[in-house]
Amino acid sequence: MNRIAVVAVVAVAALVATGCGSSKKSSSSTSSSSTATSTQSPSSTAKPTKGKAAGGAQLKLSADPSGALKFTTSSLTAKSGKVTITMSNPSSIPHAIAVEGSGIDKKGKVAGQGGSSMITVALKPGTYTFYCPVDGHRQAGMKGTLTVK
């Protein structure tokens, strides 16, 4: 009986040790998720930043969290070339991001509350319109100007 108890204690200790290792991986994973979420958080300034490996500009904006049909900014600026726009949606109303002008007309997927919509387009210098392509949102004022230099 003593021998069985010792084996059980060793088995439990092994499971706890394995569980601790697994927990460590989980917290590391959570930390990575948290980092990804923070990079997708809305930026009220919507300043472009250089992309990592691919180059180009990465712009961030957000749908208005109060539920109003507008973005947190009405103007964005980027250098010409590859431009990625990520719109986070804290609103309970579904929204998306789209860009049009100078022969460009690209729409991102519709995102529900807590999600995001993203598009990447190659843009030449000029003025473009970014907007929400969900029916009626653009007409209600959910749009802005993207200036590419």
Cβ proximity of 67 and 91 under 8 Å: yes
Counting residues of the chain whose pLDDT is more than 70, the rounded percentage is 63
Predicted TM-score of the model (pTM): 0.65
Of 87, 40, 49, 93, nearest to 68 by C-alpha is: 93
Q: Which of 16-20, 66-70, 127-131 has the lowest mean pLDDT?
A: 16-20
pLDDT of residue 56: 84
Residue 56 and residue 54: Cα distance in Å, rounded? Answer: 7
Which whole-number Å values give the CA distances from 7 to 1, 10, 15, 21, 146, in the listed order?
Answer: 10, 5, 12, 21, 68
Of 34, 14, 10, nearest to 22 by C-alpha is: 14
